[in-house]
Structure 1
Amino acid sequence: YVASLARALIYCHGKHVIHRDIKPENLLIGAQGELKIADFGWSVHTFNRRRTMCGTLDYLPPEMVESVEHDASVDIWSLGVLCYEFLYGVPPFEAKEHSDTYRRIVQVDLKFPTKPIVSSAAKDLISQMLVKDSSQRLPLHKLLEHPWIVQNADPSGIYKA
C-alpha cells in the first residue's frame, strides 16, 4: 500500500492538493483491494507554502511542529511515519507525553527496534522519507523506484489476500 499511496499523492500534488493528514484512519480499502485516501478536511489546494499546524500529532513533520512554512513534502513525511507504523505497529516518534513526541519529531529521533525484524532496504526507505530538511526527503517518484518498493509492491496497486 505504500506504493499505491505514493501514486495517489503524486496525483494529488500534481493537482496542487496537499492532504496534510495522512494516517491509517484516513485510508480506505475498496472492494477490489484498491487503496483510497479519505478525509480531506485538512487538505489545501495551493500553489504556495503554508504555515498552518494541522494533522495528527504522531504524523506531524518537524516544520509544522516548529511553525515554519511547509509544502507538499509534509505528505512524504507522513508516508514515512505510516510505513514505519505498518512495519513496527507503532509510530516512530510516539512517547507517553505529547511534549516528548514533539521533541522526538523535531530531533528526528528515529530508532529501529530489533523486533520485529525489518529489512535494511525498508529501513533505508523510511530513513529517506523521515528527513528534517523537507527539501531532502525522497521525492515520491523516486520512492516508487526504491529497491524495497520494487521488490515488494504489486505493480497493480491492488492487495490480493
Structure 2
Amino acid sequence: MREGSWTAMYIASLAQALAYCHEKDVIHRDIKPENLLLDHEGRLKITGFGWSVQSKSKRHTMCGTLDYLAPEMVENKAHDYVVDNWTLGILCYEFLYGVPPFEAESQTDTFRRIVKVDLSFPSTPQVFAEAKNLISRLLVKDSSKRLFLQKIMKLPWIMKNADPMDKCSKLDL
C-alpha cells in the first residue's frame, strides 16, 4: 500500500461513520485510538459511546480525553457535533506522526496548546501536503469553520489514497 493510504482509508471511513451519527443527532465526543477497533478483515469499528449524546442542541458537558478535546470544550463553551470533526483531525495527525498534535508535559500546557491551536508539523517527507491540508482544515478554533465531514471524501489526498471499493474502507458502528 502507498504511504499514508491506510490513514486516508481509515479517516475516510471514520468520516463517513461520524457523518451518519451526526445525521442521527449523535455526537460521539470521545473519538480516540482506544475507541477504534479493527475486525478480522481490517474494517474499523467505533466503540466507546459512553460520552455520546443524542441532541440537536448545543451541549455544555466537559467530557472526552485530554489530547483530543476541542477548544470549545477546554474553554467550557457550548459545543455540538463538530467536536467530532476536530477529533478526526487529531487522529489523522496522530496516525501520520505517532503522537497527538497538542501533547505537552502538563495538562495545563496541553490545554493552552489546544486553545491557541498551537499546531506544527514535523518535517517528515513522506507526509503529503494534502494530508496536512486536511488536518489544518479540521483543527480550526472557530468550530463553524471546520471542514464538513461530507467534504472529506472529495479532498485530493483522500481520493488518491482511500479506495472507496476496498473492503477496509467500510466502517461499521
CA 1:157–1:128 in 2, change beyond 3 Å: closer, same or farther?
farther
Question: Deviation per CA, 1:26-45, whole angstroms, max 9, x where unpaired?
Answer: 00112222111001000001
Give, in whole Å, the separation in 2 of the partners of 1:156 and 1:30: 17
Give, in whole Å, the separation in 2 of the partners of 1:94 and 1:116: 22
Structure 1 gap ranges (5+): none
Structure scoring higher RCO (CA < 8 A, sep ≥ 6) equals 2
Q: TM-score, normalised by structure 2?
A: 0.89
Give, in whole Å, the separation in 2 of the partners of 1:30 and 1:137: 30
2:75 to 50, 66, 90: 66
Question: Deviation per CA, 1:39-83, whole angstroms, max 9, x where unpaired?
Answer: 100000111110111000000000000000000000000000000
More helix by share: 2
CA RMSD of aligned residues (A): 1.2
* Count of residues in Structure 1 that have an aligned counterpart in Structure 2: 160
Do the aligned residues in 2 keep the contact of 1:23 with 1:82 (CA within 8 Å)?
Answer: yes
Give, in whole Å, the separation in 1 of the partners of 2:81 and 2:108: 25
- Find runs of 4+ consecutive structure 1 residues off by over 4 angstroms: none
**Percent of aligned positions that are identical:** 64
Q: TM-score, normalised by structure 1?
A: 0.96
Q: How does 1:131-142 map to 2 (within 5 A)?
A: 131-142=140-151
SS in 1 for 2:50: coil
